[in-house]
Structure 1
Amino acid sequence: MYLFIFSLLLLVFQYVNSKNIIDKYEADIVKVKAKVAEKEQTIKTLEEQNFELSYFSIDRNEDAYNYFEALGYDTEQLIPAIVEGLYNMNDYEGEDHPMVPYVSTTDSKLLINKVRVMNHKWIVANFTDGALWGEIFLTYSIDENNDLKYKLVEYFLYPKLN
């Protein structure tokens, strides 16, 4: 009789313990699934924002790629060359940057920091000397010698706030 009662108590203990463990695991699974769903929604939102932000970028402009390919250019090499051409202008002598129509207000040179090639004709870039910031709008073309030509169209300098 004692053995039966002891066995019954042991079975009840194991059943309750196992049920608690399973309930805890199920609750953890529900929490993890909720977090995964939340993260997936965040990823989807960020992908949509990224698509919207990159709308005016040559990477998303099939017509611009077709334009270059119709002229026989390899876009995988051309686009980085266009950007690199502007960055190479940061290595200049004197006070006048070849593209930026301002003079540095500090001891450092004006440098182009970020470049966005928008399509097969337009570029937007920002520049700074460490104290002042501005942006420039450029057009570019490729001449018959396959040389890149940049033309400054518009520019502005943010006012310095104290």
Structure 2
Amino acid sequence: MKSRIVFYLLIFVSLICLYLFVSNGKMANVKDERIAKLETQIEKLQDSVQNTQLKVMEMQYFSLENNDDALAYYDHLELKDPARYIADKLLETNESKGDNPLVPYEGMENDFKINKIKVLNHKWILTDFSDGKYWGELLIKYELKDDLGVDFTLLDHLLYTRSQ
């Protein structure tokens, strides 16, 4: 009787070991597949990040922050961020009552105010203006003086018409 109990225990233990061996093998295969999928996703994400970085670099090509030659014009001034300073000065023109004085149109719904600003280099700014319903763009020439005053001159303008 003792030998039968030992025999059945041995069979039971060997069945448990066989089950664990098979299930661990399947689990390892599933994890290997999951790892392979994650590796392909990582490769795709790295490609996507690289493409995004290239697009950002391309978009920043025309910006004062990335133009060392244009920034050299402001070396004698102690400005940490000349583009931000110039943009702030341009936004100050919005503070006047009524339309922004640089916008050559009268606001139809509200007053035309400058919204977005892109300082292209040491001479030009591209801006977007709107009254809430109508919008347009301005090309502005500017001059940053030694006393940190800024003169703005409108070079060209565009008002988008709504097609209905």
Instruction: Note whether the superposition's TM-score is higher than 0.5.
Output: yes
- AA partner of residue 101 (structure 1): P
Shift in Å, 1:98: 1.2
- AA partner of residue 105 (structure 1): M
Match of 1:112 in 2: 114
Between the two proteins, the alignment pairs up a number of residues equal to: 158
Flag as ranges the 4+ runs of structure 1 deviating above 2 A.
1-8, 142-146
- Relative distance call for 1:144 and 1:19 in structure 2 (3 A) is closer
Q: Does 1:99 align with 2:102?
A: yes
In the alignment, structure 2 segments of 5+ residues that lack a partner are 1-6
1:121-149 deviation digits (Å, cap 9, x = unpaired): 11000100111110000111123533110
- Relative distance call for 1:77 and 1:54 in structure 2 (3 A) is closer
In 1, Cα distance between equivalents of 2:120 and 2:150:
16
Match of 1:27 in 2: 33
Q: Which moved more, 1:40-49 or 1:137-146?
A: 137-146
Higher-Rg structure is: 2
1:63-106 deviation digits (Å, cap 9, x = unpaired): 0111211xx11342432120011111111123x42111000011
In the alignment, structure 1 segments of 5+ residues that lack a partner are none
Match of 1:84 in 2: 88
TM-score (norm 2): 0.90
- Relative distance call for 1:153 and 1:9 in structure 2 (3 A) is same
- AA partner of residue 63 (structure 2): S
SS at 1:105 equivalent = coil
SS at 1:10 equivalent = helix
In 1, Cα distance between equivalents of 2:15 and 2:81:
77
Shift in Å, 1:8: 2.2
Percentage identity across paired residues of the two chains: 28
In 2, Cα distance between equivalents of 1:27 and 1:45:
27
- AA partner of residue 122 (structure 1): W
In 2, Cα distance between equivalents of 1:142 and 1:33:
52
Match of 1:45 in 2: 51
TM-score (norm 1): 0.91
CA RMSD of aligned residues (A): 1.4
